[in-house]
Amino acid sequence: MTDSRLRVDDFDYELPPDAIAQVPAEPRDASRLLVLHRASGRIEHARFANIGHWLTPADLLVVNDSRVIPARLPGRRSGGGAAEVLVLRQADEDPATWEALVRPSRRLPPGSRVELRSGNSVVVGARLADGVRAVTFDTDPAEVMAAAGDVPLPPYITDRSAPAERYQTVYARPSGSAAAPTAGLHFTTRLLDQLEHDGVRRAAVTLHVGLDTFRPLEGEFLDEHRIHREWYEVPTSTRVAVDRAGRVVAVGTTSVRVLETAARLDTASGWTDLYITPPYRFAATGALITNFHLPRSSLLLLVTAFVQDGMESATPYEARDRLLRAYAAALKEGYRFFSFGDAMLIV
């Protein structure tokens, strides 16, 4: 821990398997809420429905409005045997060609065809970087995914009984994500209306969540990991609202990455591969609503960096310890972790 380069192993923690949420809370805002005050380390416990207690009319909620596509396509190899295509994003040029993860990759050489349950097929193409493959649809990809695709729940969720819409936020609009921006799953329309009535404004950004949701940190040191680029967009109305806000409250780590990318590059749309690790000076984000994240994940690093940014003269390890003490308190109180789990508000 004296090395100037931060180690992946130092951002690990033990999590009992029964702490991983398998189904979402009903209603959405019945989930638990842990409030962490960065400067003091003080912790408060509440219900998400009462989050307005910590928000003011000077605050601007910034949400990621990306909609999850039915990206998991189960099928059969033309030679026999099960196969699966997990669609990640459209390739830059051809609308029929997408980037995807395929299984079993070794048994699907370029030119292989995967037959889908809709009667359509996908041709597996070249191997790209980091295990990604190019795949080509035989007809409109959106129609094929609607007919043959499943919502791509994370592998740690083994109970598939929840309706597909529970893996979408209530404000989801443009389709394009391979995983949900899960911090927003806690909001109900009623809660958003109540916050708006109380003067808390809301604005949207878009980031289509991609491959890194499924990838653990690589290498021994944090700086050896690389984030895959993801498409983002910041409407003009959101840029204006952010500039006028007293405090920007980012709903989820994906919203943070958009806000920080736009603030530093001064661009309204494009591709971001921003990888936020401690230490990091946040340019736009004043508070963060987020879930409890996987050990050794880029999301845990981003949250650690945010905690450190609110502590005076703290080291990354002091910020890590403050965050993991909050995680330990959550476990003691029976909070549920990960995508369908409970929430944190970090102020």
CATH number of the domain bearing residue 97: 2.40.10.240
pLDDT band at 312 (very low <50, low <70, confident <90, very high): very high
Q: Where are the beta strands (DSSP E) in 259-331?
A: 269-272, 287-291
Distance, C-alpha 139 to centroid of its chain: 29
3-state helix, strand, coil in the chain (%, to 5): 30, 25, 40
Q: Which one of 148, 174, 205 terminates a domain?
A: 148
Confidence at residue 214, expressed as pLDDT on a 0 to 100 scale: 61
Is the peptide bond prior to 141 cis by the omega test (within 30 degrees of 0)? no
If you average pLDDT over residues 300-327, what whole number do you get? 98
Tell me: do 310 and 341 sit in the same domain.
yes
pLDDT, mean of residues 135-160 = 95
Domain membership of residue 120 (yes or no) is yes
Domain count, the chain: 2
Q: In a 10 Å sphere around its CB, with 0-12 CB exposed, 13-18 middle and 19+ buried, how is residue 2 labelled?
A: exposed
Q: Are 180 and 303 found together in one domain? A: yes
Domain annotation covers residue 139 = yes
Take residue 249 and report the two structure tokens written for it: 């409250």
pLDDT in tens, 163-185: 999 999 999 999 999 999 999 99
Is 2 inside a domain boundary?
no
Asked if 30 and 115 sit in the same domain, the reply is no
Question: By percentage, how much of the chain surpasses pLDDT 90?
Answer: 90
> Would you say residue 314 lies in a domain?
yes
- 3-class DSSP assignment, residue 17: helix
Out of 122, 148, 174, pick the residue that ends a domain: 148
Assess whether pLDDT exceeds 80 at residue 93. no
Fill in the amino acid letter for 323.
L
Q: What is the mean pLDDT of residues 237-252?
A: 98
Asked if 204 and 238 touch (Cβ cutoff 8 Å), the reply is yes
Give the three-class secondary structure for 4: coil
Whether residue 153 is contained in a domain is answered as: no
Query: Which residue range(s) make up the domain with 165?
Result: 8-68+160-346
Instruction: Give 2's pLDDT tier (boundaries 50, 70, 90).
Output: very low
CA 165/CA 230 separation, integer angstroms: 23
Q: pTM for the complete prediction?
A: 0.94
Compute the distance between CA of residue 260 and CA of residue 251 in angstroms, rounded to an integer.
13
Of 192, 171, 169, nearest in space to 179 by CA: 169
Q: Note the pLDDT of residue 334.
A: 98
Query: 3-state class of 142 per DSSP?
Result: helix
Same domain, 119 and 259: no
Q: Spell out the alpha helix ranges (H) of 136-283.
A: 141-148, 189-197, 236-244, 253-265
Whether 1 maps to a domain, the answer reads no
User: Is the domain of 264 the same as that of 238?
Assistant: yes
143 lies in the same domain as 171: no
* Placement of tokens 């998400």 in the chain: 48
Tell me how far apart the alpha carbons of residues 184 and 62 are, in angstroms, rounded to a whole number: 10
Give the domain-ending residue among 148, 177, 208.
148
Q: What are 251's two structure tokens? A: 């709903």
Q: How far is CA 98 from CA 137, 141, 313, 338, in A?
A: 8, 9, 45, 28
Both tokens of 47, joined, read 């219900």
**3 domain residue, yes or no:** no
pLDDT in tens, 333-346: 999 999 999 999 99
Q: What is the largest CA-CA distance in the chain?
A: 62
Residue percentage of the chain with pLDDT more than 70: 98
| 202 and 224 together in one domain | yes
Give the CATH number for residue 209. Answer: 3.40.1780.10
Give the alpha-carbon dihedral of 287, 293, 296, 297, to 10 degrees.
-70
pLDDT score of 213: 65
